[in-house]
Structure 1
Amino acid sequence: MDMAVVELSRLQFALTAMYHFLFVPLTLGLSFLLVIMESIYVMTGKEIWRVTTRFWGKLFGINFVLGVATGITMEFEFGTNWAYYAHYVGDIFGAPLAIEGLMAFFLEATFVGLMFFGWDRLSKVGHLFVTFCVALGSNLSALWILIANGWMQHPAGSAFNPETMRMEVTDFYAVLFNPVAQAKFVHTVSAGYVCASVFVMGVSAWYLLKGKWTNVARRSMMVAAAFGLASSLSVVVLGDESGYALTDNQKMKLAAIEAMWETEPAPAGLSIFGFPDMDKHVTHFDIKIPYVLGLISTRSLTGEVMGINDLVLKADERIRSGLIAYDAVEKLKTDRTSAPAREAFELHKRDLGYAMLLKRYVPDPRQASDQQILMAAKDTIPDVPVMFWLFRMMAGIGFFFIAFFALAFYCASVCQFNKRWFLKLAVVIVPLPWLAIEGGWVLAEIGRQPWAVEGVLPTFLGASSLTISQIWTTIVGFTLLYGTLAVIEVRLMIAAVRKGPVEHPPASSEGGQQQGNAGFAPLPAE
């Protein structure tokens, strides 16, 4: 496989995935904010909450459409750009995607139209139920996608079948309740809730700074402040749980995040600053907090966190073990009844993927030299400096949001959001959750390299047989298309925000009286 084709295929998928993920977090978070706001409307009967819910629902709808449109492209790319990946692990990876499409997406698609057009056709409780189903469907979509992605990070409940030469499901329960997938799901949706809360806070703060629609803005900020504080706390707590999951399932990723080259005596310290050196395998100016990493990753004072260099030696051992499994598979191709080959395969099958790392250097891994085996073992080290700094950026933003939402609570109770410096801060920080979320996605995917599926299929073997010109053509095409969609999205969102929570009242209420200004345009300032 031409490595240029592999890297360009990775670039294309990264661009489409990161663009798609601009819309997903806001969809996840806004959907449940709508449920909260509409629940208050149902309980209080105040029209101002109906107007508030419909306004944020309009922004949710714009974002939702773009999210769906960009997500479809990614699913096709598994077949076009990653054909061997789809063939090799499709029996497992395809199942969560199919369930997501049949169950979660159809749930969203069925109820989203009712949510937008059923305000005057459904009862209050009936419409609230519809809104809840949209939120549930959105989050269930994320669940099944992250089950698929979690399996790529930790391929539980599956095994290689030498009869079909493919990976197959052995325990769907293990795939479904994969600990990595669970940790990723709760961490990802919590980040989406923070993203939506910051967005609502920022737009509402802009209204207050302009003195427009202040009754809607203050109520929105109160809800977003409470929802955001709970979500930001959960992101940090669940991020800790993700770190614990890495200890058993992705030791190299954990070591790379900490730029931990050598195994330290338990409990290991947590690096808060340093400059990792990939050439010398050292971290310059390393500053650590004693014991913290050991406590986070092992939940004990005695658990050991392996360093990168020891993990490379471990990979060397697994490659040599995998060569036995690879040789057994080749023998089973010619004689499926060979008992010695079957026994050798069963003993070493968990390391078969490591032997396939050698295909980057030699067509037949069994012909690899010791030097080539060591090179393949070193390939298991991801880009340490990128991971080290991405994690610290993401964690720093996470702790900042806890402080911000705590401050929002203070402002809500003491000054009713009248401090202009706080309102300006709320507007300025709107891009930060997207920066942290995109950084987290890059961290997760770079940290898995060189694997498409951890320990099972190297990334360079999963790509389709395309030409460089074909990939560049699609990259340019997608960039132009998505760039156009981005302009449309931003213009629609800005137009909706500038128009504000404006509604046209019906000709008369049930009692024949014209609706007052309890939420209809123009809304009075408080």
Structure 2
Amino acid sequence: MMMELDIVSLSRLQFAVTAMYHFLFVPLTLGLSILLAIMETVYVMTGRLIWRQMTKFWGTLFGINFVTGVATGVVMEFQFGMNWSYYSHYVGDIFGAPLALEGLMAFFLEATFIGLFFFGWDRLSKIGHLTVTYLMAIGSNISALWILVANGWMQNPVGSRFNPETMRMEITDFFAVVFNPVAQAKVVHTVSAGYVTASIFILGVSAWYMLKGRHLELAKRSMTVAASFGLAGALSVVVLGDESGYLTSDHQSMKMAAIEAMWDTEPAPASFTLIGVPDQENRVTHYAIHIPYVMGLIGTRSLTIEIPGINQLVLQAQDRIRDGIRAYDALQTIKATPRGEQAPAEAKQAFEQYGERLGYGLLLKKYVDDPRTATDEQIVAAANDTVPGVLPLFIAFRVMVGLSFYFLLLTGTFFFLSARRKLDKHRWLLWVAVFSIPLPWLAAEMGWLVAEFGRQPWSIEGVLPTAVAVSNLSPVTVLISLTGFILIYTVLFIIEMGVMIRAIRNGPQPDHAPVSAPFEKPVPSKPVQIGEAK
């Protein structure tokens, strides 16, 4: 079924294109920043120039990736005002806070120390430059923290309430927003995925050098560091993936049911569908192979708690939409009260009772201007809209999980070979590492598809429908900007890949540490008098 070229679909597509393109650069930035700090730490501790050369070489690739990531990330923030103006108005008081902190605390910290990292090698002491590298890594990860706090609030909007006087969501507890369990699990899971991405990238490039017989000393040491770091990251991804699944079942039941293509509630503990072909129109999964108990353990961590199915959740959504209509009616009464007068007590009481369901009432805006006039058929249609696309979620989730276990196996294998000093004994494994380079990006994009596509039809889960959040633009305007972004991003991607490949082919450059420590006054040598030389 082809997507309709309406303003909502085009705005969603444009944000998806820019966000998923931007996220091609984020994981590598996160992971390489930490790996650079590890490599330079070894250099400072041992004084061996090979570790300095490794830090500078992988740092060059980090810099290329960082520049493109910043350029594409700035565009995303402007889109909130361009394409999602009502979203910005409705939740800007909450969503804007972590974005501002990301810009003030992380971006400037990160950008400042990246400059010192590249230009301070011969101007700072060893300890001074190492401190800069760690601050650069901390800045990169803090940047991810605040963005993921904002995204976690979109998935689980805690610490906030709707103010009927301002018609906006407002923060009631900033620390609840920051320590939102969904956000915290997302932070660690996403950052760990970045560590795996950088580790597989270094493994693959180093394996290519070994296959070509080039830069062997650098390649073997790089593979050792990447295998160890990647194995820890892969274990963290799997463990935190389980935590994310548990929280999704608790806070986003429809997303969990769609990921599993669970049409009806099963007796606890629910089985996991290993493979199958979900048919959303008929609400059945063809050719399904089930593994007993697994989904119940992932989703509830118990053998007795049920996971609700899609059909039951749709019926539940109908009841919530009717409550949302009551909240909308009370809100209109409050808004109609002349300034300076008290709103009717009945309206206030009704909004207190049903206000949390207002977002469900707004789902009807897709069908009628005034949700209070909606028919039963429109309520049923709006409830069915709460089911996201099951087939894409079903496939994306399984690709992501399958690749996560593959990375665990791959990094574990090279960790074992490194410990036994046999990294170069199996050429076929080196080729496996080379061809594995793109896979972490595929897994990361599938993860974001699960998180964002699975939240539909909500821009803020249970609070603001996506169809209501868009700007009042013409589809032609968005189509033109979308086409422009695709063209510009394609050119940027080709340029960035060309620069990265050239840097890899050229390899590390010869490097010599300064003879004397920077900022130390050289000791003047005593003139040699004639007759003193021996």
1:428-507 pair list within 5 angstroms: 428-505=435-512
Q: Which of 137, 148, 151 is the equivalent residue of 1:149? A: 151
1:366 aligns with 2:368: no
Q: Number of matched residues?
A: 509
1:296 aligns with 2:298: yes
Displacement, 1:479? 1.4
1:408 aligns with 2:410: no
1:353 aligns with 2:359: yes
Displacement, 1:337? 2.3
Q: Which of 49, 54, 57 is the equivalent residue of 2:56? A: 54
In structure 1, C-alpha distance between the alignment counterparts of 2:377 and 2:142, rounded to whole Å = 47
Unaligned runs of at least 5 residues, structure 1: 512-526
Could you tell me which amino acid in structure 2 is paired with residue 341 of structure 1?
A
Displacement, 1:297? 1.3
1:206 corresponds to which residue?
Answer: 208
TM-score of the superposition, structure 1-length normalised?
0.95
Q: Secondary structure at the match of 2:10?
A: helix
Tell me the alpha carbon deviations over residues 191-210 of structure 1, each in whole angstroms, 9 at most, x when there is no partner: 11000001001110111111
2:350 corresponds to which residue?
Answer: 344
1:140 corresponds to which residue?
Answer: 142
Could you tell me which amino acid in structure 1 is paired with residue 437 of structure 2?
V
In structure 2, C-alpha distance between the alignment counterparts of 1:171 and 1:49, rounded to whole Å = 46
1:329 corresponds to which residue?
Answer: 331
Report if aligned partners of 1:20, 1:67 keep a CA contact under 8 Å in 2: yes
1:264-275 pair list within 5 angstroms: 264-275=266-277
In structure 1, C-alpha distance between the alignment counterparts of 2:479 and 2:41, rounded to whole Å = 49
In structure 2, C-alpha distance between the alignment counterparts of 1:376 and 1:232, rounded to whole Å = 40
Could you tell me which amino acid in structure 2 is paired with residue 127 of structure 1?
H
Tell me the alpha carbon deviations over residues 25-54 of structure 1, each in whole angstroms, 9 at most, x when there is no partner: 000000000011111111111111000111
In structure 2, C-alpha distance between the alignment counterparts of 1:464 and 1:391, rounded to whole Å = 31
Could you tell me which amino acid in structure 2 is paired with residue 440 of structure 1?
G
1:94-133 pair list within 5 angstroms: 94-133=96-135
Displacement, 1:107? 0.8
Displacement, 1:416? 3.1
Tell me the alpha carbon deviations over residues 373-430 of structure 1, each in whole angstroms, 9 at most, x when there is no partner: 0110010000011101110011001101111111112222332333211111110110
1:13 corresponds to which residue?
Answer: 15
1:517 corresponds to which residue?
Answer: none
1:166 corresponds to which residue?
Answer: 168
Structure ID, larger Rg: 2
Distance 1:98 1:450, change over 3 A: same
Displacement, 1:3? 6.8
Tell me the alpha carbon deviations over residues 195-228 of structure 1, each in whole angstroms, 9 at most, x when there is no partner: 0001001110111111111000000000000000
In structure 1, C-alpha distance between the alignment counterparts of 2:343 and 2:317, rounded to whole Å = 31
Tell me the alpha carbon deviations over residues 84-130 of structure 1, each in whole angstroms, 9 at most, x when there is no partner: 11111101110100000000111101211111111111111111111
Displacement, 1:509? 3.2
Could you tell me which amino acid in structure 2 is paired with residue 475 of structure 1?
L
2:75 corresponds to which residue?
Answer: 73
2:520 corresponds to which residue?
Answer: none
Q: Secondary structure at the match of 2:157?
A: coil
2:392 corresponds to which residue?
Answer: 386
In structure 1, C-alpha distance between the alignment counterparts of 2:313 and 2:5, rounded to whole Å = 25
In structure 1, C-alpha distance between the alignment counterparts of 2:229 and 2:270, rounded to whole Å = 35
Report if aligned partners of 1:232, 1:398 keep a CA contact under 8 Å in 2: yes
Displacement, 1:510? 4.5
In structure 1, C-alpha distance between the alignment counterparts of 2:42 and 2:512, rounded to whole Å = 21
Displacement, 1:152? 0.7
1:210-221 pair list within 5 angstroms: 210-221=212-223
Q: Secondary structure at the match of 2:333?
A: helix
In structure 2, C-alpha distance between the alignment counterparts of 1:304 and 1:126, rounded to whole Å = 56
In structure 1, C-alpha distance between the alignment counterparts of 2:122 and 2:5, rounded to whole Å = 58
Report if aligned partners of 1:3, 1:460 keep a CA contact under 8 Å in 2: no
Tell me the alpha carbon deviations over residues 344-395 of structure 1, each in whole angstroms, 9 at most, x when there is no partner: 0000111000000011111110111111101100100000111011100110
Report if aligned partners of 1:13, 1:77 keep a CA contact under 8 Å in 2: yes
User: Runs ≥4 in structure 1, deviation > 2 angstroms?
Assistant: 503-506, 508-511
Displacement, 1:481? 1.4
Tell me the alpha carbon deviations over residues 295-344 of structure 1, each in whole angstroms, 9 at most, x when there is no partner: 11111111111110010011011001111110000000112521110010
Over the residues paired in the alignment, what is the CA RMSD in angstroms?
Answer: 1.3
Q: Secondary structure at the match of 1:100?
A: helix
2:522 corresponds to which residue?
Answer: none
1:424 aligns with 2:426: no
TM-score of the superposition, structure 2-length normalised?
0.94
Identity of aligned residues (%): 62
In structure 1, C-alpha distance between the alignment counterparts of 2:462 and 2:131, rounded to whole Å = 44
Could you tell me which amino acid in structure 1 is paired with residue 37 of structure 2?
V
Could you tell me which amino acid in structure 2 is paired with residue 242 of structure 1?
S
Tell me the alpha carbon deviations over residues 132-158 of structure 1, each in whole angstroms, 9 at most, x when there is no partner: 111111111111001111111111111
In structure 2, C-alpha distance between the alignment counterparts of 1:185 and 1:504, rounded to whole Å = 37
In structure 2, C-alpha distance between the alignment counterparts of 1:344 and 1:504, rounded to whole Å = 72
Unaligned runs of at least 5 residues, structure 2: 518-534
Distance 1:466 1:405, change over 3 A: same
